[in-house]
Chains A and B, each alone.
Chain A
Amino acid sequence: MAKKPVKVIIVGGGLAGLMATLKILEDGSSVDLFSYCPVKRSHSLCAQGGINACMDLKGEHDSIYEHFDDTVYGGDFLADQLAVKGMVETAPKIIKMFDRMGVPFTRTPEGTLDMRNFGGQKNKRTCFAGSTTGQQLLYALDEQVRRWEVKGGDKLRKFEYWEFIRIIRNKQGVCRGIVAQNMNSNEIKAFPADVVILATGGPGQVYGRCTASTICNGSAVSSVYQQGAEIGNPEFLQIHPTAIPGSDKNRLMSEACRGEGGRVWVWRKNPETGEKERWYFLEDMYPAYGNLVPRDVASRAIYKVVVHMGLGMQNPNRVYLDLSHIPADYLERKLGGILEMYDDFVGQDPRQVPMEIFPSIHYSMGGIWVDRMHHTNIPGLMAAGECDYQYHGANRLGANSLLSATYSGLVAGPEALRLGRSGELGDALTNDELETAQKECVAEFDKIRAMSGSENAHQLHHELGDIMYKYVSVERDNSGLAECVKELREILKRWDNIGLTDHGTWANQEAMFARQLRNMIIYAQAITEAALERDESRGAHAKIVLENEWKDMDPELKQRILDKVGEPTFDPKTNRAHDSKGDLVFFERDDKRFMRTTVVKYDAEKQAPVVSYREFEHSLIKPRLRNYAVAKKE
């Protein structure tokens, strides 16, 4: 007997969305695929360095277990270990699938796949296509999906240049459809389905300038959060150590630079001889991993050297990322695309002179809470890719994001089909329900279009980014986070006073942006509240101890700090703890209280985030403290 076809709505056409789409089409079921842009322009294409998979092609006896352990250890033991295990076990199969689909992976002279080093991993485990791996993987899936567009008849309907607005739930509370808007005609329509998968990417635009595309605004995630979806670990945002700062965006300079031998340094006076010298501080501070420490560690080290020791280039703050010692033809083959980008945007040739870089918001480990099969807490609503919180814990290893995006699509697609056939979905949406939802969204849009206050939405967005960078960045403390909560409330209030200059209904980007901005502010509140509540340092979340907190600290954690840096002193102005060398003193990781997933729910009445914690699966690898100064011990 033929299987009952399922109708799935997928929002987002990056790697996760396209992978899920392909799986569903191969089953004979149908997909309505929504995207801000032609899916070929999705943000997955910005990933540069590569995709991790244990292929063991370099005679290093690499093992899947080692990939598993590196990922869990790199994530500071906050990732669901069973989920990670599934991902790393599937990784080699994913590479082979992409190889068959024609991804032009970089090859060795023998014609086999080349592998490179990446941060937080000792073995060569990263497959790559020059320095545009994400672009090449995305194109392969885009091509396969286009092939289905031709041969699948009406099984695949692409809605490109459509913006997701909200989900629609049936009487039983199951998500059975969405409302979306055509970005050109501004027509708003409701779409029914059996299952909805969000694959809408990260929320980088909450910080304004970041390495993310302008379409990565987290608006869809915030929208379903306000409709009851739980957010997991939103306080964990990856700050990439090496980006080219810019006023419109911070452009990523791949970790592959360091994987291929790039070194990070600043000028300093040698403490003994007093002579001016290049200080390769990562190699000095972390002898075992050197320039290839994970991103959270590298970003904190750069902050320390630049912001606290004042050793960076000043005005603006920068450190050097140096490739100039590597032969030019080797660089061309391995890193060509991004070196050209540096040249394009900075006007200097990185083959000749060291690049000037600084950390930037890059990736969100957190996102919509999902179980291991990618169901959210709202039945019928699934999430995959960067918009979900799975796989990376408190810090993502480089080259694990293309992997998690693809893998989560591989899981979510077939699971959506199972769910669609399970009989657990309740009633299909009635015409009334569809129409009501559509009308509500039209009314909301009309209201936004008519806004005539004195605030400019783009200016307000800029200020939102400034606030988030100021308080919820590499180094956080509770007084700053509390201040941030206040200032965000103020920003949200000012949103009501936005005035548009475009009140029309044809490609009104300004009105659509205003709607996105409100969602961004509300998501920023979730990030900040979660950061405030988590009184520990773990992965990307590093919290400075304040004077009042030192007194009440758990004795065991206090002892760990005392053993490490001795009795701290406190800055009378900031109340921040410093050690005898003047370095900041951070909270220790607190497994007793915080080896739990942060779960943030939106309280619609109070219009505020509510934080709680949830146990997760971590029984396979026993937690141990992370230390990249020495080789990892099992």
Chain B
Amino acid sequence: MAEQKKVRFIIERQDGPNEKPYTQEFDVDYRPGLNVVAALMEIQKNPVTVEGKKVAPVTWECNCLEKVCGACMMVINGRARQACCSLIDKLEQPIRLQPARTFPVIRDLLIDRSVMFESLKRIQGWIDVDGSWEAPDAPRQNPHTAETCYEISHCMTCGCCLEACPNVGPQSDFIGPAPTVQALLFNLNPIGKYNEPNRLNALMEKGGITSCGNSQNCEAVCPKGIKLTQHLAQLNRDVNKQALRNIFNH
């Protein structure tokens, strides 16, 4: 019988937020269609390193495994991406897994992305409806604008774009491409538009859109293919116009 083909994983581990990182290597049986999450699940079933040492299974976060919840983002072979749709066949081996260190590490590949959800508060990422009760119908929408909204609304807060952005990190306050671009989603909505000045003013503050250096890394890594660069440029123009309005209205 032919020998079972193995896939080697080099995993950067860390026992807690303030512990030192270290690496461990694992071999997983190859099979067609195998992805990184499926491989981590195999390690859970048999958490033994290549040296034959039994260790605690690797800690990471995942939910949907369909590239829609955003949970399983990690750095795979140096690039931020969703682990569930990272097919082994398309990756160079050995495969190196690291936590996305733009965010605080909780344990192993598990990270704390709460800062992204906080930023969604800052840009007021919602429509100001009176309430969930019955009220007159929403206005009709231009189907083309609605398509742009749909595209932006795919953002799953995974954090790939923050991990890839050179301006997100300890050196800057930039809230990052994902939360910034969400502002456009609500500004494009006919009801959301009423609150556009507040969102644009929020983006003028420290860490807002002026911190974007237009490196365009974000769009290159976005697993949802959102045209982040184009939307950031649009917001930049909108913010400038708002700045002028602020001057002349006062």
The SS class assigned to the B binding surface is loop
Docked CA distance A136–B146 (Å): 12
Q: Are A107 and B143 in contact (CB under 8 A)?
A: yes
Per-residue contact bits, chain A 96-114, to B (CB 8 Å; 1 contact, 0 not)? 1101111011111111100
Q: Are A97 and B127 in contact (CB under 8 A)?
A: no
- Is the CB–CB distance between A501 and B47 below 8 Å? yes
Interface flags for A79-123 (1: CB within 8 Å of B; 0: not) read: 000000000000001001101111011111111100000000000
Contact of A213 with B64 at beta-carbon distance under 8 Å, contacts A248-B37, A510-B56 already known: yes
| A139 and B110 contacting across the interface, CB-CB below 8 Å | no
- A149 near B: Cβ within 8 Å? yes
A143 to B147, CA, bound (A): 19
Instruction: Tell me which residues across on chain B come within 8 A of A99, comparing CB atoms.
Output: 137-138
Count chain A residues whose beta carbon lies closer than 8 angstroms to a beta carbon of B: 72
A501 partner residues in chain B, CB cutoff 8 A:
47, 54-57
Of the residues B85, B129, B134, contact of A101 by C-beta under 8 Å: B129
Task: Give B118-158 as 1s and 0s: 1 = Cβ < 8 Å from A's Cβ atoms.
Answer: 00110011111101111101101111001101100110110
Q: Give every chain B residue within 8 A of A46 (Cβ-Cβ).
A: 64, 66, 68-69
Check if A143 sits within 8 Å of B126, measured CB to CB.
yes
Q: Are A345 and B45 in contact (CB under 8 A)?
A: no
Are B38 and A104 in contact, with the CB atoms below 8 A? no
How many angstroms from the CA of A252 to the CA of B16 in the assembled complex?
A: 35
A43 touching B57 in the complex, CB below 8 Å, given contacts A246-B38, A456-B46, A506-B16: no
Contact across chains for B132 and A97 when beta carbons are under 8 A apart: yes
Q: Is the CB of B125 within 8 A of A107?
A: no
Interface residue stretch chosen among B184-192, B214-222, B230-238 = B184-192
Q: Is the CB of A510 within 8 A of B110?
A: no
B12 to chain A, nearest CB (A): 16
B33 touches A104 (CB 8 A): no
Within 8 A of B (CB), among A397-451: 410
Residues from chain A with a CB closer than 8 A to the CB of B209 are none
Asked if A93 and B154 sit within 8 Å, CB to CB, the answer is no
Q: Mark contacts of A469-499 with chain B using CB atoms, 8 A cut-off: 1 yes-contact digit, 0 otherwise.
A: 0000000000000000000000000000000
CB distance from A110 to the nearest CB of B (A): 7
Q: Let me know if A214 and B153 touch, CB within 8 A.
A: no
B143 to chain A: closest CB distance in Å?
A: 4
Please indicate the chain A residues that have their CB under 8 angstroms from the CB of B114 in the complex. 38
Interface digits, A203-244 against B, CB 8 Å rule (1 contact, 0 not)? 000000000011100000000000000000000000000000
> Known contacts A100-B191, A506-B107; is A347 also within 8 Å of B143 by CB?
no
How many angstroms between the C-alpha atoms of A102 and B185 in the bound complex? 9
A370 within 8 A of B: no
Among A101, A337, A346, A459, point to the contact of B33 (Cβ < 8 A).
Answer: A346
Task: List the A side residues contacting B156 at CB < 8 Å.
Answer: 40-41, 45, 135
Give complex CA distance A149, B122 in Å.
Answer: 12
Complex Cα spacing A333 to B144, Å? 11
Scan B1-31; emit 1 where CB is below 8 A from any A CB, else 0: 0000000000000011000000000000001
Please determine whether A100 and B127 come into contact, CB atoms closer than 8 angstroms.
yes
**Does any Cβ of B come within 8 Å of A504's Cβ?**
yes
A26 is contacted by which of B84, B113, B131, B154 (Cβ under 8 Å)?
B131
A353 at the interface (CB under 8 A from B): no
Q: Assess whether A308 is interfacial by the CB under 8 Å rule.
A: no
CB contact under 8 A between A507 and B132, given known A45-B64, A501-B55: no
Q: Known contacts being A102-B189, A143-B126, is A93 close to B134, with CB within 8 Å?
A: yes
Note all chain B residues with C-beta closer than 8 A to A462.
45
- The answer on a CB contact under 8 Å between B132 and A41 is no
User: In the complex, A22 Cα to B71 Cα: how many Å?
Assistant: 24
A143-154 to B contact mask, C-beta < 8 Å, 1/0 = 110110110000
In the complex the two chains form, what is the Cα distance from A244 to B44 in whole Å?
Answer: 23
A184 within 8 A of B: yes
Most interface-central of B63, B107, B132, B192 (chain A CB within 10 A):
B132
B77-110 vs A: 1/0 string, CB under 8 Å?
Answer: 0000000110101000000000000000011001
**Complex CA–CA separation, A482 to B46 (angstroms):** 31
Residue in chain B with minimal CB distance to A38 = B117
Asked if residues B125 and A507 are in contact (CB atoms below 8 Å), the reply is no
Let me know if A132 is at the binding interface, CB within 8 A. yes
From B55, B56, B67, A344 is in contact (CB under 8 Å) with B67
Picked from B37, B44, B120, B129, the residue with its CB within 8 Å of the CB of A458 is B44
Q: Is the CB of A132 within 8 A of B143?
A: no
Given A23-B132, A510-B56, are A102 and B142 also a contact pair (CB < 8 Å)? no
**Which A residues are CB-close (under 8 A) to B124?**
147
Which residue of B has the minimal Cβ distance to A40?
Answer: B157
Q: Name 11 extra pairs, CB < 8 A, besides A40-B156, A144-B132.
A: A40-B70, A41-B71, A46-B64, A96-B138, A101-B127, A108-B143, A111-B146, A112-B140, A146-B121, A147-B124, A248-B37
| Residues of B participating in the A interface, judged by any CB pair closer than 8 Å | 15-16, 31, 33-35, 37-38, 41, 44-47, 54-57, 59, 61-71, 84-85, 87, 89, 106-107, 110, 113-114, 117, 120-121, 124-129, 131-135, 137-138, 140-143, 146-147, 149-150, 153-154, 156-157, 185-186, 189, 191-192, 225
Contact sample, A vs B, 27 pairs, CB 8 Å cutoff = A38-B114, A43-B64, A43-B69, A45-B156, A46-B64, A46-B68, A93-B134, A96-B134, A102-B149, A102-B186, A106-B150, A111-B143, A112-B140, A132-B154, A146-B120, A147-B126, A246-B65, A247-B38, A248-B38, A252-B66, A345-B35, A347-B89, A456-B46, A501-B56, A507-B59, A507-B107, A509-B59
Considering the complex of A and B, which 4 residue pairs feature the smallest CB-CB distances, nearest first? Answer: A248-B38, A502-B56, A111-B140, A143-B126
